[in-house]
């Protein structure tokens, strides 16, 4: 009898816990928070997001993406066959990012800007820093597979009201790519990471 009572209490506790804890499907369908604060795994997609000040995306006429800061980005050794591909990608980080951002955002239009130039009122300004541009290992991708040798890109950035200079959002996002013919081309995989991060930032903006 005591065993039966214990089982009944355990079943009741599990039922209460199940009612209080949302299922994965429910959590995924729940709107991501847009109130000020610091979040990890925001919307199940964004590694880190700080919402400094909420805003209305519809009030902005355009989004301007400045050239990314790559001055502190680690490079492979010069004798490494990935050195030149990394240098190539770092020389033009913004275009693939803008491509992904535009594809997933729609409106307002996205354009590239010049560092130090005034974007003006009515614009959102995106500034980014490339923390990591790891090309991974082409040989490991080819011979091992299963995620081995993946190219890894990590970006930190902020979204700024160009008219007032106020920082609205700060974010950190990392993406990896490891699939491609014969281990995947270094430049293509790193560009893919940048496009995907652009799509991720579009996801953030569309929440506002």
Q: How many CB atoms lie within 10 A of CB 8?
A: 10
Higher pLDDT, 11 or 151: 151
pLDDT above 60: residue 139: no
| Average pLDDT score over the chain | 82
> Given a cut of 70, is residue 23 above it in pLDDT?
no
Total number of domains constituting the chain: 1
Question: Does any domain span residue 194?
Answer: yes
CATH code assigned at 109? 3.40.50
- Assigned domain for 31 exists: no
Question: Whose CA is closest to 194, among 113, 146, 126, 114?
Answer: 126
What is the rounded CA–CA span in Å between residue 55 and residue 29? Answer: 22
Residues spanned by the domain of 63:
37-205
Tokens describing residue 109:
């239009």
pLDDT at 85 over 80: yes
Cβ-based neighbours of 32, under 8 Å, separated by 6 or more: 42, 43, 207
In sequence order, what E strands does 18-122 have? Answer: 37-42, 46-51, 62-65, 110-112
Q: pLDDT (tens digit, 9 = 90+) per residue, 95-133?
A: 999 999 999 998 899 999 876 556 678 999 999 999 999
The answer to the question of residue 27 being in a domain is no
Is 17 domain-assigned? no
109: in domain: yes
67-101 in b/e form (b: 16+ CB < 10 A) is bbbbeebeebeeeeebeebbeebbeebbebbbbbb
């Amino acid at each position: 009898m005591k065993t039966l009572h214990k089982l009944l209490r355990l079943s009741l506790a599990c039922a209460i816990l199940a009612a209080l804890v949302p299922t994965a499907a429910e959590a995924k369908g729940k709107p991501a928070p847009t109130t000020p604060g610091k979040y990890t795994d925001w919307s199940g997609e964004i590694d880190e997001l700080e919402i400094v000040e909420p805003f209305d995306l519809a009030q902005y006429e355009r989004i301007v993406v400045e050239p990314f800061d790559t001055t502190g980005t680690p490079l492979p050794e010069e004798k490494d066959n990935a050195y030149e591909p990394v240098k190539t990608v770092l020389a033009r980080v913004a275009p693939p990012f803008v491509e992904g951002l535009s594809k997933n955002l729609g409106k307002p239009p996205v354009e590239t800007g010049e560092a130090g130039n005034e974007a003006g009122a009515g614009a959102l300004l995106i500034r980014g820093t490339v923390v990591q541009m790891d090309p991974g290992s082409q040989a490991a991708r080819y011979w091992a597979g299963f995620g081995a040798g993946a190219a890894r890109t990590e970006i930190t950035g902020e979204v700024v009201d160009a008219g007032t200079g106020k920082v609205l959002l700060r974010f950190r996002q990392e993406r990896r790519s490891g699939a491609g013919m014969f281990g995947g081309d270094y430049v293509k995989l790193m560009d893919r990471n940048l496009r995907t991060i652009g799509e991720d930032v579009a996801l953030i903006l569309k929440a506002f």
